[in-house]
Structure 1
């Protein structure tokens, strides 16, 4: 017998047809009611992350280091991270 899966939003039972083990799932009703403020907050956090990554990349490219930390090894990873989240560089 399969374990009953419930919506994490409202607790309504969900048919386990397409679920994988440990998957976070919400029902269609809760999905359509996603809080717009949460989406705005996540966008704000993403924009803040982009700003700080862009600043660090700019500093490394200008100075070649951050304070006393040599940063040649991290610059490619920062540029990849920025590109992955939609940065301009």
Structure 2
């Protein structure tokens, strides 16, 4: 069914298109804003994970923890793009 719709976020008219019932549509402008916000949020979460892993490695080293455990945490940190120069 063809219908006129508006952006879910800003109410800007959007060209008629085939839409499944109940689908939320956003205009290109709002979509790019949403993408930027999503990227920022994901980057913040990634930075938090890197910091937590780095702190965990330091704590394990201070407690003279298992080399295998330290290696595992360093591999996890490397997998998410963290830098660890303490090898």
TM-score range, shorter chain: 0.5 to 0.7
TM (norm. structure 2) is: 0.53
Q: CA deviation at 1:72?
A: 3.9
The equivalent residue for 2:51 is: 51
Aligned partner of 1:84 among 76, 79, 85: 79
Q: What 5-or-longer segments of structure 1 have no aligned partner?
A: 1-10, 13-28, 66-70
Local SS of the residue matching 1:74: helix
Give TM-score scaled by structure 1 length.
0.52
Structure 2: runs of 5 or more not aligned? 1-17, 20-27
What SS is found at the alignment partner of 2:68?
A: coil
Which residue does the alignment assign to 1:61? 61
